[in-house]
Structure 1
Amino acid sequence: MIVVISHPDDAHAMRVIRCLEERGEPVLLLDLAQLPRHATLTVDYRHGPRPQIRYRQADGTVHPLHEASAVWWRRPQAPDLSEVTDPQTHMFTANEWNEALNGLWQLLQDARWMNEPTRDDAASRKARQLRVAAEVGLRTPRTLITSDPDEARGFIRDLAPRDVIYKTFSCTHAIWRETRMLREADHAQLDTVQVAPVIFQEYVPARADLRVTVVDGRLFPAAIAWTPRAGSIDFRRNVGEATITAEVLPADVHDRVLALMERLGLVYGAIDLRRTPDDEYYFFEVNTAGEFLFIEDRTELPIASAIADWLAGRALSLPDAVPRASARPRAMPMDTIAS
């Protein structure tokens, strides 16, 4: 059995699940938000040192999680504790679920993980990503991560007259902040970085942005060519109007991306690069569960199929990616490109 840890509204997970079902592979969408009201979890040590792990759904269907051959750590949800209204009880209950689920993942070590949760968590840290990327030879922009307003002002002065951008560590579909250029009017707000640290970077001019989706050492690079709107430097705001084509990376960049993935211990990752007008490649970040449908749908690169093959334990017998013309630009829902 293949386990996909996500939820029904995750279009990426559902496409891969359809691929698996078409191959005749048994697959379970494990939506942790069904706990505790619509599902139960049991770890049973009565039959020996290797426990049986049962996930029982409201209709009575029982899934033996201990039989999982592969697990995709895609979009894990939290158990729905909305009915627990007392703050102290809610905190206690949430901690109990957290302990139980973290223990569960440790029991599924015989399964192949995309990506193993502890490695996924460590690899998702942007501060570490920049260091590892530089160590494997990828170019990275000059960066300052700080909650100190004076440090931020010093960084901006040191880079002058070069432009500076700023961005957040994370986002959700409810709270989403694109990467922004630091404007003169923003200087008056620099004291607010004391509230939460901010990432400042030198602005890297673009000939094209690149999204490189990696599946078990197989690269699916795509170039995103777009015309920025006034004040916008984040392709995610303009991707519906962009031209997206499959891309071939230079051999040295290709090898360094693979080295990055190996150092981070990732099977899957969506990497953001930028190609400058001088044909230099800069690394920005890797999203360990990044979106790929907006690339697949516009280029026909078979990313979902590659993920399904890996989860099913099949060799990735796909032809090498061949650049092809982008589909006609069209509006793209933000939930397919938010990360």
Structure 2
Amino acid sequence: MNGALLVCGVASESPLAMVIAAAERLDVDCLVIDQRQLAHQDIEVGLSRGRLFARWWSGSVSVDLSRHAGAYSRLMPASLLRDPPLDPRGVLHHHYFVDALNAWLEVAPLRVANRMAPGMSNASKPWQEQLIRKAGFATPVSLLSNDPEAVRAFARRHGRVVFKSASGVRSIVTTLDGIHAAQLERVRALPTLFQAFVPGVNYRVHVVGQRVFCTRVASEATDYRYAGHEGVEAEMRADRLPPEIARRCVALAAGMELELAGIDLKRTPGGEYVCFEVNPSPAYTCFDRESAEGVADSLVTHLAGGPNRGSHRKRHPAESPPA
């Protein structure tokens, strides 16, 4: 590896904490800009003699951010922090600092996981579905609608139907059963994404550059992330994808210009891999430990400018064959 790593966000949040630990383990120089400490930090971003620059201060310490080879960013609005700034000056300082840092990361000449623009497809599931199909994956039969009658007709045609948010706002995938079907008039106030239920086995795939890490999820829950809400379990373990599916995942992430992506797949009883969505800021640590460790190590190596798929590196147990 030949560069330093910049990490931006809440340092104690598990995805960042795991990358910080991996950087230390791999002996990669790492600067952490912790959002919970911004009151004591400053930043300057601009152009000087045609060159883009960004300088960060904390007390008497000053760092030229442009010296970094890559950045891992999970910056969030102040309102989403557990302990947000409360005084008006603190709120404004946080807002301007994060805006300036995001603006620089968007155009800085380094690898960033991930810039904001590539991740915007997550704000529109129908748009993202087109990108997914372009990469060669099948997607669920879907209906985005605020018309109760159209939804009822869709449900009659496809039998079991689930629904979720059509935007990037987190929602729980839920079956359209008798209780929710009786409340369908409420959909007039908010267009919702309805999908024909796809049976099979869930896979969460994390792509880092050209490396693919796969987690198989065995669960009877409609949305395995909230299996406990349904009184069932979700068993996760590291697995491998067939080489062709792994290559397709790499192509999907690359086509969306994502250095890091969390891809949700399901293998149907007939062996087809159906893709539901692509998360541009995946919380990879909530999946199995093997995959999470592989993602963190690979992310540090990739962003710091090291070999992306070098044959000298022993393949991690959770890693699918390279594309």
Give the TM bin, normalised by the shorter chain. Answer: 0.7 to 0.9
Q: Give CA deviations for 1:39-97 in whole Å, capped at 9, x if unaligned.
A: 2222365x63325422222x433232232221113x21235563229xxxx8x989866
Instruction: Say which SS state the counterpart of residue 113 (structure 1) adopts.
Output: strand
1:132-171 equivalent positions in 2, closer than 5 A: 132-159=131-158, 162-169=159-166
Q: Cα distance, 1:133 vs. partner? A: 1.6
Q: Cα distance, 1:220 vs. partner? A: 1.0
1:13-32 equivalent positions in 2, closer than 5 A: 13-32=16-35
Instruction: Say which SS state the counterpart of residue 133 (structure 1) adopts.
Output: helix
**Tell me, which stretches of 5 or more residues in structure 2 are unaligned?**
79-83
Q: 1:266 to 1:107 in 2, by over 3 A?
A: closer
Q: Cα distance, 1:200 vs. partner? A: 0.6
Distance 1:295 1:11 in 2: 12
Distance 1:102 1:298 in 2: 31
Distance 2:147 2:37 in 1: 42
Distance 2:272 2:216 in 1: 14
Worse overlay, 183-192 or 251-260: 251-260
Q: Cα distance, 1:285 vs. partner? A: 0.9
Q: Cα distance, 1:202 vs. partner? A: 0.4
Aligned residues: 304
1:1-150 equivalent positions in 2, closer than 5 A: 1-32=4-35, 34-35=37-38, 37-43=39-45, 48-57=49-58, 59-73=59-73, 75-79=74-78, 82-84=86-88, 100-108=100-108, 110-122=109-121, 125-150=124-149
Q: 1:97 to 1:321 in 2, by over 3 A?
A: closer
Q: Cα distance, 1:292 vs. partner? A: 1.9
Distance 2:105 2:42 in 1: 16
Q: Which has the higher strand share?
A: 2
Distance 2:184 2:241 in 1: 38
Distance 1:243 1:5 in 2: 31
Distance 1:301 1:100 in 2: 31
Task: Choose the corresponding residue for 2:243, options 242, 247, 251.
Answer: 251
1:268 corresponds to: 260
Q: 1:186 to 1:300 in 2, by over 3 A?
A: closer
Give the aligned residue type for 1:141: P
**Aligned-residue RMSD, C-alpha:** 3.0
Distance 2:16 2:248 in 1: 28
Task: Choose the corresponding residue for 1:179, options 134, 156, 173.
Answer: 173
Give the aligned residue type for 2:125: K
Q: Cα distance, 1:269 vs. partner? A: 0.5
Q: Give CA deviations for 1:257-289 in whole Å, capped at 9, x if unaligned.
A: 222122211121111111122222211111111
Q: Is the Cα contact below 8 Å between 2:143 and 2:151 reproduced in 1?
A: yes
TM-score by length of 1: 0.78
Q: Is the Cα contact below 8 Å between 1:123 and 1:265 reproduced in 2?
A: no
Q: Would you say 1:201 and 2:204 are equivalent positions?
A: no
Q: Cα distance, 1:13 vs. partner? A: 0.9
1:296-315 equivalent positions in 2, closer than 5 A: 296-297=288-289, 302-315=294-307
Q: Give CA deviations for 1:201-232 in whole Å, capped at 9, x if unaligned.
A: 001112x2101111111111121112x2xxx4
Q: Cα distance, 1:14 vs. partner? A: 1.0
TM-score by length of 2: 0.82
Give the aligned residue type for 2:216: A
Distance 1:43 1:26 in 2: 22
Q: Cα distance, 1:140 vs. partner? A: 0.9
Q: Give CA deviations for 1:100-157 in whole Å, capped at 9, x if unaligned.
A: 445323452x112222321122356422221122222211110112233333233223
Same amino acid, percent of matched pairs: 25
Q: Is the Cα contact below 8 Å between 1:212 and 1:271 reproduced in 2?
A: yes
Give the aligned residue type for 1:40: D
Give the aligned residue type for 2:189: V
Q: Cα distance, 1:299 vs. partner? A: 5.6
Instruction: Say which SS state the counterpart of residue 31 (structure 2) adopts.
Output: strand
**Tell me, which stretches of 5 or more residues in structure 1 are unaligned?**
325-339
Worse overlay, 235-244 or 282-291: 235-244
Q: Is the Cα contact below 8 Å between 1:181 and 1:233 reproduced in 2?
A: yes
Distance 1:273 1:139 in 2: 10
Q: Is the Cα contact below 8 Å between 2:77 and 2:95 reproduced in 1?
A: no
Give the aligned residue type for 2:314: P
Distance 1:300 1:2 in 2: 19
Q: Is the Cα contact below 8 Å between 1:274 and 1:283 reproduced in 2?
A: yes
Distance 1:100 1:265 in 2: 22
Q: Cα distance, 1:248 vs. partner? A: 2.5
Distance 2:193 2:269 in 1: 24
